[in-house]
Structure 1
């Protein structure tokens, strides 16, 4: 309340605060902001040693770059990955949106950032999760088709497969891993679960029979379909 309104309109005495009441709620949004951060490294030299012709130098420490010789920061790379993977925004649309924010970021550059961080950072986490998954008692497995463009030695029309492995509801932290393979051979699952000796729940695909020293459990969702297919449509 403005200061001039805090006086009584009848006697001009200053009013005392009593309480407040909720009136309404509104939502506001702050658009994304891009910042250019410049790093400078200080260099120092000993003046006394310089008199004797010795070059004794010291340099200040600077934060390591996420990607060498690149302007990519962790926050920028995460933003691009979240838009591409989490929100399904193609790189070409992100490139357009980046232009709206006032700078140019080619789609090829964004793709290279994701590839580099995956190979140099995320694969380490993936391998560690793989080790933990193999220690569990139950693993769910399935595979689905996908196509890859410009894959070396293969055409874009060839069918590839994404194998999926997930831990069961054992009370521990759930793990879900994707494993790309160019085929649906049972050897793909055999290699991924090579040291696993628990229960594997999957569909009736014969490729899983190549798994050794495991218990194969039928997928109840697949079995349920057959019961519904056996019931005449007029009775459903």
Structure 2
């Protein structure tokens, strides 16, 4: 077949596209291994500085050189030690001077505070209930046994809460916890610990259902998903990849993890059937065109758009830098809003005045520049992602309660990523859902600034006797520390 001009051009275009693809993949690999993890963009001012110094050297050569000397006094700064927390108990230790002379008068004292630590205390709680024989053979009197979270077990609410927090907040697997307890002289079998945890999760199931109900009643949700390896009886010798679907209600301060064995669009479709409001996600197609009972308004995530341009810096630095500079201005506006603690109406007006002009300018520029780049190049993919989702990317300016990105939900997912590095995989699909339940509670604790151990310990003690129609009181966002009251 003869080589024509058209076929030669097409061949060169394909090869160039392949070259750009390989170049982009190599740059991405280098960035993951050696690059900075921060996505914040700092413009390069080397060229400007070079021109400034070059001009200065010319002036020096043409004019008379004068030597200038000066003396600079350097003050050494000493680090400032932060005061120790005032709520911690103080154990006083008084050290009197030796051989003090009679008649000496105390004129003051020097106080040094040192932060100390004692290992966690494990003890046995003995509940003794005296039995009394009533007169005239009227029977036996004995006090009722206090309500226990696991009545047929020998684990208390405090230890059970510690086991859960250690694994899902401090990322300490069960086998490490067993080793730590063994150092204290307490031997616990793996079967006992896993059994305690499983039964404790069953008790928390009713609270998880209430949390799920409240999430679906929220008017504004953020959604994302994260993989987790799971042992599957149907896949001997290999692990199944399941997913934790995460939903965050920023206004209400709620987080819900929901496990599913797949990443199909059916999962959010089924879960969000009763939801009506605004949903903010990345560009994953599973969230697009959801057929639910109620209309759902979709928002996109500016951080994901910025990430595409950050990856394109090695491919087309000029265009990628310009886009990131404009996005950086949008984030500067958001930082000012956060610093001033503005209400939602003022936030909307502020964005209309300052963010919308930047967004309009950036959109026009993208439309002009996109036809000039290769579609499969890194910069081409960055343009395509942003332009395809532009209406959803810029819609955060329509309501003051909306956020510019999904970063808060990614922060909620981070403990899951840290946990995966420690326990590697879930033992079953049921275990993965149990983990989802605990991550839901502890993520909600975190965003509401609630101590997870104190909360769970109190819940385990109160849950057996708590009224079913008042379970919302036990959720972290509503919980009141009884020790404070």
**Quick one: which of 287, 290, 296 aligns to 1:214?**
296
**Quick one: which of 139, 145, 148 aligns to 1:62?**
145
**1:198 — aligned with what?**
277
**2:190 — aligned with what?**
107
SS at match of 1:194: coil
**1:162 — aligned with what?**
244
**Would you say 1:73 and 2:156 are equivalent positions?**
yes
**Quick one: which of 96, 100, 119 aligns to 1:5?**
100
**Quick one: which of 229, 241, 250 aligns to 1:147?**
229
Residues 165 and 77 of structure 1, relative CA distance in 2, 3 Å threshold? same
* Distance in 2, Cα, partners of 1:189 & 1:195: 11
**Quick one: which of 198, 201, 204 aligns to 1:118?**
201
* Distance in 2, Cα, partners of 1:41 & 1:19: 52
Deviation at 1:153, TM superposition (A): 5.4
**Quick one: which of 15, 18, 32 aligns to 2:107?**
18
Extract unaligned runs of 5+ from structure 2. 1-95, 322-485
Deviation at 1:116, TM superposition (A): 1.2
2:243·2:263 contact (CA, 8 Å) conserved in 1? yes
- What is the total number of aligned residue pairs between the two structures? 219
SS at match of 1:179: strand
2:149·2:203 contact (CA, 8 Å) conserved in 1? no
Which protein has the bigger strand share? 1
Alignment of 1:29-108 (within 5 A): 29-48=117-136, 50=137, 56-108=139-191
**1:10 — aligned with what?**
none
2:215·2:249 contact (CA, 8 Å) conserved in 1? yes
TM-score by length of 2: 0.42
Write the deviation string for residues 135-186 of structure 1: whole angstroms up to 9, x where unpaired.
222100111211222x465665222111000012x3x4x1111000111122
Deviation at 1:234, TM superposition (A): 4.5
**Quick one: which of 235, 256, 259 aligns to 1:180?**
259
1:45·1:58 contact (CA, 8 Å) conserved in 2? yes
* Distance in 1, Cα, partners of 2:243 & 2:235: 13
* Distance in 2, Cα, partners of 1:191 & 1:119: 23
Extract unaligned runs of 5+ from structure 1. 8-12
1:95·1:104 contact (CA, 8 Å) conserved in 2? yes
Root-mean-square deviation over aligned CA pairs: 2.4
2:129·2:143 contact (CA, 8 Å) conserved in 1? yes
Q: Which structure exhibits the higher relative contact order, with contacts defined as CA atoms closer than 8 Å and separated by 6 or more residues?
A: 2
* Distance in 2, Cα, partners of 1:229 & 1:189: 29
Deviation at 1:66, TM superposition (A): 2.0
1:94·1:107 contact (CA, 8 Å) conserved in 2? no
Which protein has the bigger helix share? 2
Write the deviation string for residues 26-82 of structure 1: whole angstroms up to 9, x where unpaired.
23211222212222333333331x2xxxx6333212212221221110111111112
* Distance in 2, Cα, partners of 1:154 & 1:59: 54
* Distance in 1, Cα, partners of 2:97 & 2:303: 66
Residues 60 and 70 of structure 1, relative CA distance in 2, 3 Å threshold? same
* Distance in 1, Cα, partners of 2:199 & 2:153: 11
